[in-house]
């Protein structure tokens, strides 16, 4: 059975969370909704419909959803050419792929947005597959995207690790039986990631790459599940 290294993209591999926050904040403002940026930031990582549920409530006027999402997409799209991968992100994916891991991107991004993220990351040679929220009935924090990602490469949950920057990533991984690893580069505090289930937390992709020999990737290979390392555990 294959080993899968699953990765969220926005805020985990590509420095895009702040852009999403501004795009959603302005899109919501144009729609007449005054939502503070800190609340928007906490919702980043959810698929669009769940993000709007989280920010506006499940009993909102859903006829607005398409217009609000379109406003976000237009505003965010203006920055596509300026997207940048975090230091060490591509090297991390290549190191894992070279060690026999099946690397899968697990993202809520769609179409042009995903293309822009992959272009910024510039590591297609290391990526075995991509799973999006469009492929499943329920997006994060439900386990569906993670389970779908595992099925794409024939990997078992107990032999897999999911790296993300949001509490939604950690919860989705835990629900799917995959070991969650958190990164702080998306702006979510260490304590929040730990409370959501992270087995270990690192600063960013470069930090995880530096500690790869003692990270949960190593414990999964050894047959143990849980945190490892030098104080970076949650």
- Residue 228: its pLDDT value, please? 37
Residues 216 and 149 in one domain: yes
Residues 37 and 53 in one domain: yes
Distance CA 40, CA 35 (A): 7
Output the domain CATH number for residue 28. Answer: 1.10.150.240
| Nearest residue to 101 via CA among 10, 168, 163, 183 | 163
DSSP 122: -
Residue 60 falls inside a structural domain: yes
Residues 52 and 123 in one domain: no
Domain end position, chosen among 47, 65, 81? 81
Residue 197 falls inside a structural domain: yes
Residue 231 falls inside a structural domain: no
125-179 pLDDT, tens per residue? 999 999 988 889 899 999 999 999 999 999 999 999 999 999 999 999 999 999 9
Is the model's pLDDT at 226 over the cut of 70? no
166-182 pLDDT, tens per residue? 999 999 999 999 999 99
Residues 125 and 157 in one domain: yes
CB 190 within 8 A of CB 145: no
Residues 100 and 178 in one domain: yes
Q: Total structural domains in the chain?
A: 2
Residues 71 and 181 in one domain: no
Is the model's pLDDT at 110 over the cut of 50? yes
Residues 54 and 156 in one domain: no
Residue 230 falls inside a structural domain: no
- Residue 171: its pLDDT value, please? 97
Residues 184 and 211 in one domain: yes
Identify the domain containing residue 46 by its residue range.
Answer: 17-81
3-state SS assignment for residue 146: helix
pTM of the entire structure? 0.93
């Amino acid at each position: 059975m294959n080993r899968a290294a699953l990765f969220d993209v926005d805020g985990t591999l590509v420095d895009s969370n702040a852009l999403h926050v501004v795009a959603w904040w302005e899109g919501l403002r144009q729609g007449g909704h005054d939502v503070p940026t800190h609340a928007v930031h906490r919702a980043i990582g959810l698929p669009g419909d769940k993000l709007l549920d989280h920010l506006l409530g499940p009993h909102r006027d859903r006829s607005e959803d398409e217009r609000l999402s379109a406003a976000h997409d237009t505003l965010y799209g203006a920055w596509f050419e300026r997207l940048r991968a975090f230091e060490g992100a591509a090297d991390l994916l290549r190191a894992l792929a070279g060690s026999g891991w099946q690397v899968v991107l697990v993202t809520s991004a769609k179409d042009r947005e995903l293309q822009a993220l992959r272009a910024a990351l510039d590591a297609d040679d290391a990526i075995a597959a991509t799973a999006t929220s469009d492929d499943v009935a329920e997006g994060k924090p439900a386990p569906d995207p993670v389970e779908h990602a595992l099925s794409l490469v024939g990997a078992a949950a107990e032999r897999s690790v999911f790296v993300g920057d949001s509490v939604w990533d950690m919860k989705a991984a835990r629900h799917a039986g995959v070991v969650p690893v958190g990164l702080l580069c998306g702006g979510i505090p260490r304590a929040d990631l730990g409370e959501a289930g992270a087995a270990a937390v690192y600063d960013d992709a470069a930090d995880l790459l530096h500690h790869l020999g003692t990270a949960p990737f190593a414990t999964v290979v050894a047959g143990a599940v849980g945190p490892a390392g030098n104080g970076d555990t949650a």
